[in-house]
Amino acid sequence: MNCAEAERLIIDRVFSGSVLQPDDELNAHTVVCAACRSFHQKCSADYETSFADRKRLPDPDFYDKLFTGEKSGKTHKELKSHSVAPLLRFAPGLSAAAAAVLLGVWLGGRLFTTIIPANASSGVNPELLRADYIQSYAADLNLTDATDMALENYLNFNAESDDTE
Amino acid sequence: MADAELMKMVAEGDPVSGRRFADQYQLLVYNVCYSFIRNRHDAEDVAQEVFLEAFRNAGRFRGDAKISTWLYRIAVNRSLNYIRNNRKRRFWQELSAVFDPGPSGSNSQEFEMSGDTTDGRLKNREQKSVIGEALESLPENQRIAFTLNKMEDLSYAEVAEVMQLSLSAVESLIHRARLGMQKKLKHYYF
């Protein structure tokens, strides 16, 4: 047996604990090879420390802890019916996603209402807008003449008639 | 009582069967969780979660596989999820543990006897975790296969069933894991 084979066997034995039967060939090798002997000792000691809390005896109160602990908060009978736990688990995430979408829509809307009028006013002649406005106002009042003068006359006349009444 | 029958009773909420199920499989579940997590309290928490999931889903157990295979699968998945979700938390825990090991620390006596300072603690903790770190550094599938085969003493066929892989794939994973472990441990210990 060479050292590489011995190392692999040592790793198997260290991790398998006492499950494996003693290996005479490996033992013979570690007797004559100080490096492998040291490797075995260090690995074993390290394993013992690293996995010291593996349990060999069951906890008699485990079942009670399971259903009286904070984790469950339910009895075995209550637990058997499928709960809405998966739904609740995803609910905060879904709510956050929905809120983000709504916020995005709202911010986008705000942005467009700020940008569009500015662009719109810059491209349209204000004189034309005024003329359109006066024309539609005259049409509402059933005036055939849609000039400033005609509108003024109409408004002055109606104001006087209101006063006399 | 057969596996399917026991799980049927558990699904119906029978407390006697529930207790029997928990008592029978708690060591298996805890030790698998602990092999991955390497922290007793966290492993106990995850083991409880595994059982709560098993109790909730007991009705879905059809008896195609053994209860142990089913539980191994849940325990491995839960443990790996726990590790993924808690990397940051563990970093801060370990950092604070280095500077404040506490009176219940398993190595506190050694430190006192040897009069070690923070350097000694760091070295000790570093040494303590070599074999665990080597295991953690393996690719996930290799780590699962190696842990189940070597530490939980499952046969290659059982590992294949838990991991839902072919036998040859499991053999290959374990072989590569052994080589990986050998390389890392040799590098450290020689």
Within this chain, do residues B65 and B140 fall inside the same structural domain, yes or no? no
CB within 8 Å: B59 and A38: no
Within this chain, do residues B174 and B189 fall inside the same structural domain, yes or no? yes
Domain positions in chain A: 3-52, 93-123, 124-165
Give the structural domain span for B163.
129-190
Within this chain, do residues B69 and B101 fall inside the same structural domain, yes or no? no
Within this chain, do residues B63 and B93 fall inside the same structural domain, yes or no? no
Between residues 62 and 81 of chain A, which touch chain B (CB distance below 8 Å)?
62-63, 65-66, 69, 71-72, 76-77, 79-80
Q: How far are the Cα atoms of A108, A139, B153, B156 from residue A158, in angstroms, in the given order?
A: 47, 17, 105, 103
Instruction: Report pLDDT digits (tens) over A32-47.
Output: 999 889 988 888 888 8
Question: What φ, ψ does residue A137 adopt, rounded to 5°?
Answer: -65, -40
Question: Is the CB of residue A14 less than 8 Å away from at least one CB of chain B?
Answer: yes
Instruction: Report pLDDT digits (tens) over B14-30.
Output: 888 888 899 999 999 99
Within this chain, do residues B153 and B179 fall inside the same structural domain, yes or no? yes
* Closest Cβ opposite residue A63 in set B19, B129, B146: B19
Q: How many domains does chain B have?
A: 3
Q: Looking at beta carbons, which residues of chain B come within 8 Å of A15?
A: 146, 150-151
Within this chain, do residues B13 and B52 fall inside the same structural domain, yes or no? yes
CB within 8 Å: B13 and A49: no
Alpha-carbon distance A40 to nearest alpha carbon in chain B (angstroms): 10
Angle at B92 between CA B90 and CA B98, to 5 degrees: 100
ipTM: 0.72
**Which stretches in chain B have pLDDT values below 70?**
1, 88, 90, 99-128, 190
Residue A70 scores a pLDDT above 60: no
Among the ranges A66-80, A108-122, B54-68, B114-128, which has the highest mean pLDDT value? B54-68
For residue B136, is it within any domain? yes
A vs B: CB pairs below 8 A: 111
Tokens of A77: 């009978």
